[in-house]
Structure formats: C-alpha cells, structure tokens
Amino acid sequence: MRVFLDTSVILAACRSSSGASRALFELDADQGWKLLSSPWVLAEVEKNLAKFPFESTAAWASMRQRVELVDDIVSFDKALVFPASKDRPVLLTALAWADVLLTLDREDFIEILGSSCYGMPIMVPSDFLWSERRAGRLR
C-alpha cells in the first residue's frame, strides 16, 4: 500500500516516539507499506524542524531514509474545489501517487474534503492503523 505522509504526520513522528505517526515508521517494512512524500512536504518539514528540539531533527535524520520521494504534482485533470492553496500540492501529489493520504490537519483536509477525495481515503494516522487492524492486515 502506498501511504502519502503530510507534513503534520512527519513532524508528529519526529516529536514523539510513542504516537501513531511514529508507529507508521516502525511498522512500514513489516506491513509492506511504502511511505511516500514529496519535495514540497520535505521543504515544509525542514523549515518547521528548526522550531523543534534537536531530538526531533535527529529522529528525522533516521526516519528520512524510510520515505520514498515522489514528484510534486501541481495540476489536475478533474474538477477540484480545495481552498487551502498551501496544501493543494500535497493533495494533488497524494492523488497521483498514493492509495491513502495521512494528515493531522483535520481543518484543511478532512473537514473540507471529508474522508476521501476521488476515492482516495484521507485519514489521521490513528484511524488508518485502526482500519488496517479491523481489516486484518495489521500484523
């Protein structure tokens, strides 16, 4: 499964070793998930990491190798009303490359788009992990 990680998920994984966001990095290989992100997201991560404690940067240095970088997508051939312009490249890139978009930004993604966009689920990491467990795929 191709799992696109938004900036908020990566930053949460860097900040806490015990949350659902970090669990994605601990489970990905065993579960066969491909953790995806893009240059747009990584630029946001690096900009925001400067505001975090050093331990967060060190955590990212070790987790970064687990993320496969995909090209940013900035245009779409279908109708899409999405007012959060700063997050538009995240959504379009996830639609192009991933099976699911994980974000902690409920306000700009989930409250506007709901639980999916053009069939691609949009979830917070904890809901994703629960859905994988309920489906019997979480080992």
Q: What is the pLDDT of residues 15-46, one digit of tens each?
A: 999 999 999 999 999 999 999 999 999 999 99
- Listed by start position, the domains of the chain span 2-134
CATH number, span 2-134:
3.40.50.1010
Residue 71, phi-psi category: left (phi > 0), alpha (psi -120 to 50), beta (remainder) = beta
Q: What does the DSSP 8-state code read for residue 78?
A: S
Q: What is the pLDDT of residues 58-87, one digit of tens each?
A: 999 999 999 999 999 877 666 555 555 667
pTM for the predicted model, two decimal places: 0.90
- Burial (CB < 10 A; 0-12, 13-18, 19+), residue 122, is buried
